[in-house]
Chain A
């Protein structure tokens, strides 16, 4: 019987060819549900063996090893032999803003201009993006949707990945203002290849450090004026850009500075010292060099891509893999992201896995893509760990989620709703397994 159901599901999917229009957002979870016999990776470092999670109306009501499941309760997910994790959080992404990077018509991540604090990523977030479901298949249930830009790019919002439209998807709205810092580094002279006179490196033209610092000073002036503006309740005119950053000053918003080098990060500390803002460094490839200062100033870091080459030729060949461990050691609150444009974020757990191979414990690595990411995003009260009172954002995997050798997500719940793990790729796989009469591969949906 069970086999038959599986077959029918697969067949229904096939009829609809290789689009995912049939993947419906799940209905709200009502009543009580249990996930039992699980190895529960809480997300806060703790692991509960043979544990049970009690979920009621989308929230986690109880978690532990000694929870009794009423006999005969039909709503039980037996996770025997499986690993259960909090739904993973992708901390920076253009998910839903960019469908295909090379096709301009599908790009909605970067607005014209350098001062766009008022631009909101959320309103362009396309819940029907084909990329979304491929992330869910790897355990990613929430994402911070971030605008791109050349300086002040706009605000990001956290979305949950099972919704009909962006309003339904919104999990935390406009909570981050994103600033892409000038590099503060000279660029090389153009045309190094085949130069006529064998000229060596040429002195850079304008001073990029000076230019960059001036730009940043301009932003400080903007914040000063915004602060003054908000101190005065009666404005003669309304300034949308000032309005957009209001939350920064009462810490309901965070300032995300996209920066890599020590110099950039040191300059960025001004925003903490001068304005007392909550600041997050995004990128942070060089953050390990000043981890103690970041800790001292309560600056958190999103490592954008541990699967990267070392910055400098002279660096430890494994430096990007080890950076997370250096931040952990210094006590910096950090998250790991995956902004690879070829794989679109689906390798988030493996970026964390690599950090675990190079110095983090597996639970620390998990926290970097769950609880700590949620803390940075300001959603730790609702998600990021399997703890009482939080939304039941939970994934079930055959094995270690951080290792592609064992990671295989068999079930996922957003707010307790069991979501459909079908994605475009699985549908195309099915379609062509049919073509070649290959044995259908059971992939848990």
Chain B
């Protein structure tokens, strides 16, 4: 009989042979037939058997249970004191897959290289190089024991591996981590289909934005559906074919971030797919939203590292968010457990697989339970992938993938001794603890015998003494023993009592480590023969010697019980996860608000009313007048102050993850709304400037840009609640220098390169849209659809048809008169209207024509001379257009200026002599009109939304400050409260800086302070810097 600890003598289990492979030698058939007896067997997270037996054969579990008889032919292994667990499953790996390499094409990050407009993949594949649905991990998978070993040592026996390249990545394969032929370790060849928001090695310019990824995936779903009808015009498309063939597999989306998770989930919702979502570290910041996806998540366990913020000048640029996230990231998995969201755990994203256990323990310290971990590493991934019949528990018939440990697996001091994969033993660590005990050592030298006592603690720690303690060094590697020692010189010390060693940081401190050994030390080398060690050696004089150490008494095994540590105290999650965010429950609420005795700018026929009251109730303007009262109202004294409707910015690029999809000249399929970002500090900053609604536009990278989104600046809301409800959509068009890519360093290779081409892009797009519209009409009108194939749905043309059907409105970035006229001429020919000309700095030259066409104008007050096409821009532009009869707005296109739009409106009085009332309308009612929401916002009319600003002074004066900014009757900005919030921000920063410093002083590793840079999106029309920490997204 063998014991687990005595297994060293057992030959490694021979590899299973494959019938088709000829043997070079003599056949050696074996079955790996073992019975592990007297073991504690944890079959799954909920079933634990004690004194039980596990029988395996041919790489599978034959049975596991109590009172099983050891079958004849099986090798019995006494496993007393050992624990057995199903090996873990990593559902998100690229094990055995070579790093994908860029195959020709452009480097998308090189500004000096011309964009690659078409796919560089050769063959009968689809149009976009980032869609690699035909990739199949199992075909390229190759066993890589150097990578498998650390995973096995961490406890994993099975992984799902895939090629991490592209927005669609094809199929993943379930493989074991056995070091055997691929034929045998591939457990399931097509186990999953993979997606991401990353084009990987594709150098193709499209998609170049988050919106683009979403649109590309949506269109591919539609195309694949359409391809099922085998449209002759498409020919063979291996990409779409593979896409369709892999739809029934578990669909896994690598999203890596809380908002991206939602973006992915929404794509799935649209096409009836429930993705399994590979998350990031920050989902705890929006756990309710995560829950609502109904997805199973795959959670990585990497956390931000502590930063060295000792130097206040370095700490200054590390944001509160980053520090809070450092503190809270370890709570992520626990937050999922608490919310009842199913999840798997992965080693993915860890800097090193070796960090798995320390990271896992950290997650557990922050509230993740043992049983949940067990599930997340076994049953959940197995059921998620539909392989629970094969792995994930210790049940008969499953693969013999199991761990043997010397105690409960999650105990801090427990060691994984072995990890058996497919019935093959892999030693992780020798059970050195099992040698702990007292040994009698006899050294036989030419001078005679010396007797010592060895008190072995573990594989590297021994206390050796005769009469006194002897200075010694010891190592044991499972088989070989090495001891060296020298009698202690003067400073002899008594053995250090056990208790004093506790809490020494867990690092073994051998008796010999107390004092360096002289070079003349006696050196012993021997072998563990079971209960006796025998060896030879050399004494201090160089004489040969022999020695024997005999076990006197094994140390009693004392397993540390799981120490229940208190959950570390951490700061609160705030919404949004930004400075000035609200703690849960502290979010501002809708109130009944009565502003008394103010100067009220109604933007209605009443005009500006002195000493008037405004009552806001149920989120709406209830009344405007004198002597109003409401007992339930919070009364705000408006004496000497001014009330206006909230400011509406017709042209903004805040609060979005991306704004420019410049990969093609026509990208009407992309939508800002797909990638709103509620965690933008500029929302709060603009509230402080009285802005209540912002029209978030696509950038000006192309002629037909993306669909826009109107939002209300509801600070703290999620991406969905940020949206302005019930507004007809708009879309961004652009003309001139930006779409011609005048500023491109490498020169432009994308059509168009001239204003002539711009006009043709528009002509072409709408011509195609009309044909498309007609094709659908023909199809829809056909009574008998037999034999008819529905036209291919084209998201790009859908949006253009919406324009033709007046369901979607255009806002068109434009500057010079020729292009303005050109755009209107195309519109007239094609039967649509350019709803708004935005920027429109030469609008004054063709204002009469714009009026006739029926356009609105949204412009800057005084910008000019930053590029050639604004050479003739004048600050009188808005006033001239207004006098000609156009409805004119002043917009920002700038996160800074948006805070001062009231001042920009004032400049139209200064330069153009419009009345103050008309000027204020240019940033309130007029933008509401061009956005087709003037029935809801833009003036103080009973029934309209309660979007109101109370100003300290005349609203067109530079001295005016918003005291309250109210949206839907909810006070989102309160200048007094802002002071308190600022103090809270400062206090929380201080606390976290101190905590990080404490971490550093306690010896924890830190990285240099990382300034928290912010990405900012603009129309590419900016000549000014937004400060030290802002990176223009165009850079």
Q: Which residues of A contact B (CB under 8 A)?
A: 18, 99-103, 130-131, 134, 183, 185-188, 190-201, 203-204, 260-263, 285-286, 305, 307-314, 316-318, 339-344, 346-347, 350, 353-354, 356-357, 402-408, 424-426, 428-429, 432-433, 436, 438, 441
Residues of B within 8 A of A403 (CB): 957-959
Knowing A193-B210, A193-B1015 touch, does A405 contact B895 (C-beta < 8 A)? no
**How far does the alpha carbon of A441 sit from the alpha carbon of B876 in the complex, in Å?**
10
Within residues 874 to 897 of chain B, which ones have a CB less than 8 A from any CB in chain A? 874-876, 879-880, 883-884, 895-897
Closest A-B pairs by Cβ, 4 of them: A341-B1023, A102-B867, A198-B256, A429-B876
**How far does the alpha carbon of A402 sit from the alpha carbon of B910 in the complex, in Å?**
12
Could you list 7 examples of A-B contacts with CB < 8 Å? A100-B865, A286-B316, A317-B688, A342-B1024, A357-B960, A403-B958, A425-B911
Cross-chain contact B865 with A131 (CB below 8 angstroms):
yes
Residues of B within 8 A of A307 (CB): 896-897, 900
Knowing A194-B197, A313-B579, A405-B910 touch, does A429 contact B880 (C-beta < 8 A)? yes
Q: Counting CB contacts under 8 A, is B35 at the interface?
A: no
Cross-chain contact B685 with A432 (CB below 8 angstroms):
no
Cross-chain contact A353 with B959 (CB below 8 angstroms):
yes
Q: Of A204, A342, A408, A432, which is within 8 A of B1008 by CB?
A: A204
Within residues 93 to 113 of chain B, which ones have a CB less than 8 A from any CB in chain A? 109
**How far does the alpha carbon of A350 sit from the alpha carbon of B1012 in the complex, in Å?**
30
Cross-chain contact A436 with B880 (CB below 8 angstroms):
yes
**How far does the alpha carbon of A192 sit from the alpha carbon of B1014 in the complex, in Å?**
10
A193-B658, A314-B985, A428-B872 provided; 9 other pairs, C-beta below 8 A?
Answer: A99-B865, A102-B866, A186-B1011, A310-B1027, A342-B860, A343-B862, A405-B910, A436-B880, A438-B884
Chain B interface category by residue count: 35 or more
Residues of B within 8 A of A191 (CB): 109
Q: Which residues of B contact A (CB under 8 A)?
A: 109, 164, 196-200, 210, 213, 256-257, 280-281, 300, 302, 304-305, 313, 316-317, 319-322, 348-349, 578-580, 657-658, 681-682, 684-685, 688, 737, 742-743, 844-845, 847-848, 860, 862-868, 871-872, 874-876, 879-880, 883-884, 895-897, 900, 903, 906-907, 909-913, 916, 954, 956-961, 978, 982, 985-986, 989, 1007-1008, 1010-1015, 1021-1024, 1026-1031, 1033
Closest A residue to B1014 using CB positions: A313
Closest A residue to B323 using CB positions: A314
Cross-chain contact B956 with A405 (CB below 8 angstroms):
yes
Closest B residue to A188 using CB positions: B1013
Q: How many whole Å from B999's CB to the nearest CB in chain A?
A: 16
Residues of B within 8 A of A286 (CB): 316
**How far does the alpha carbon of A185 sit from the alpha carbon of B313 in the complex, in Å?**
10
**How far does the alpha carbon of A285 sit from the alpha carbon of B1026 in the complex, in Å?**
11
Q: Of A130, A314, A317, which is within 8 A of B685 by CB?
A: A317
Cross-chain contact B737 with A341 (CB below 8 angstroms):
no
Residues of A within 8 A of B884 (CB): 436, 438
Q: How many whole Å from B127's CB to the nearest CB in chain A?
A: 20
**How far does the alpha carbon of A234 sit from the alpha carbon of B862 in the complex, in Å?**
55
Residues of B within 8 A of A433 (CB): 880
Q: How many whole Å from A139's CB to the nearest CB in chain B?
A: 12
Q: How many whole Å from B964's CB to the nearest CB in chain A?
A: 15
Q: Of A134, A404, A441, which is within 8 A of B907 by CB?
A: A404
Q: How many whole Å from B99's CB to the nearest CB in chain A?
A: 11
Knowing A309-B685, A314-B985 touch, does A100 contact B867 (C-beta < 8 A)? yes
Residues of A within 8 A of B911 (CB): 425
Cross-chain contact A436 with B883 (CB below 8 angstroms):
yes
Cross-chain contact B1010 with A186 (CB below 8 angstroms):
yes
Q: How many whole Å from A25's CB to the nearest CB in chain B?
A: 21
Cross-chain contact B316 with A342 (CB below 8 angstroms):
no
**How far does the alpha carbon of A195 sit from the alpha carbon of B348 in the complex, in Å?**
14
Residues of A within 8 A of B986 (CB): 314
Q: How many whole Å from B303's CB to the nearest CB in chain A?
A: 9
Residues of A within 8 A of B954 (CB): 405
Q: How many whole Å from A185's CB to the nearest CB in chain B?
A: 6
Residues of B within 8 A of A195 (CB): 198, 256
Residues of A within 8 A of B989 (CB): 314
Residues of B within 8 A of A441 (CB): 876, 879, 912-913
**How far does the alpha carbon of A404 sit from the alpha carbon of B959 in the complex, in Å?**
10
Cross-chain contact A405 with B862 (CB below 8 angstroms):
no
Cross-chain contact A425 with B868 (CB below 8 angstroms):
no
Cross-chain contact A346 with B862 (CB below 8 angstroms):
yes
**How far does the alpha carbon of A311 sit from the alpha carbon of B1011 in the complex, in Å?**
11
Cross-chain contact A341 with B1022 (CB below 8 angstroms):
yes
Cross-chain contact B847 with A436 (CB below 8 angstroms):
yes
**How far does the alpha carbon of A317 sit from the alpha carbon of B683 in the complex, in Å?**
11
Knowing A309-B896, A317-B684, A346-B862 touch, does A404 contact B1030 (C-beta < 8 A)? no
Closest A residue to B1015 using CB positions: A192
Residues of B within 8 A of A193 (CB): 210, 657-658, 1015, 1033
Q: How many whole Å from A137's CB to the nearest CB in chain B?
A: 9
Cross-chain contact A263 with B958 (CB below 8 angstroms):
no
**How far does the alpha carbon of A347 sit from the alpha carbon of B911 in the complex, in Å?**
13
Q: Of B349, B685, B742, which is within 8 A of A310 by CB?
A: B685
Cross-chain contact A312 with B281 (CB below 8 angstroms):
no
Cross-chain contact B1023 with A312 (CB below 8 angstroms):
no
Residues of B within 8 A of A199 (CB): 349
**How far does the alpha carbon of A308 sit from the alpha carbon of B682 in the complex, in Å?**
12
Q: Of A131, A192, A313, A350, which is within 8 A of B578 by CB?
A: A313
Cross-chain contact B1010 with A201 (CB below 8 angstroms):
yes
Residues of B within 8 A of A103 (CB): 867-868
Cross-chain contact B313 with A263 (CB below 8 angstroms):
yes
Cross-chain contact B880 with A438 (CB below 8 angstroms):
yes
Q: Of A260, A309, A356, A425, which is within 8 A of B895 by CB?
A: A309
Residues of B within 8 A of A405 (CB): 906, 909-910, 916, 954, 956-958
Cross-chain contact B865 with A130 (CB below 8 angstroms):
yes
Q: How many whole Å from B569's CB to the nearest CB in chain A?
A: 22
Cross-chain contact A429 with B874 (CB below 8 angstroms):
yes
Cross-chain contact A357 with B961 (CB below 8 angstroms):
yes
Residues of A within 8 A of B1012 (CB): 312-313
**How far does the alpha carbon of A201 sit from the alpha carbon of B865 in the complex, in Å?**
38
Q: Of B863, B871, B883, which is within 8 A of A438 by CB?
A: B883
Q: How many whole Å from A199's CB to the nearest CB in chain B?
A: 7
Cross-chain contact B958 with A353 (CB below 8 angstroms):
yes
**How far does the alpha carbon of A344 sit from the alpha carbon of B591 in the complex, in Å?**
44
Q: How many whole Å from A83's CB to the nearest CB in chain B?
A: 14
Q: Of B210, B871, B896, B957, which is within 8 A of A194 by CB?
A: B210
Cross-chain contact A404 with B903 (CB below 8 angstroms):
yes
Closest A residue to B280 using CB positions: A198
Closest B residue to A352 using CB positions: B958
**How far does the alpha carbon of A201 sit from the alpha carbon of B1010 in the complex, in Å?**
7
Cross-chain contact B300 with A198 (CB below 8 angstroms):
yes
Q: How many whole Å from B848's CB to the nearest CB in chain A?
A: 7
**How far does the alpha carbon of A129 sit from the alpha carbon of B1000 in the complex, in Å?**
57
Closest A residue to B1030 using CB positions: A309
Q: How many whole Å from A16's CB to the nearest CB in chain B?
A: 15
Residues of B within 8 A of A341 (CB): 866, 1022-1024
Residues of B within 8 A of A353 (CB): 958-959
**How far does the alpha carbon of A307 sit from the alpha carbon of B894 in the complex, in Å?**
12
Of the candidates A262, A346, A441, the one having the most CB atoms from chain B within 10 angstroms of its own CB is: A441
Residues of A within 8 A of B985 (CB): 314
Residues of A within 8 A of B109 (CB): 190-191
Cross-chain contact B200 with A196 (CB below 8 angstroms):
yes
Of the candidates A188, A357, A405, the one having the most CB atoms from chain B within 10 angstroms of its own CB is: A405
Residues of B within 8 A of A354 (CB): 900, 958
Q: Of B316, B684, B864, which is within 8 A of A262 by CB?
A: B316
**How far does the alpha carbon of A432 sit from the alpha carbon of B878 in the complex, in Å?**
12
Residues of A within 8 A of B685 (CB): 309-310, 317
Closest B residue to A309 using CB positions: B896
**How far does the alpha carbon of A340 sit from the alpha carbon of B316 in the complex, in Å?**
26
Q: Of B198, B256, B320, B1010, which is within 8 A of A313 by CB?
A: B320
Cross-chain contact B737 with A102 (CB below 8 angstroms):
yes
Residues of B within 8 A of A436 (CB): 847-848, 880, 883-884
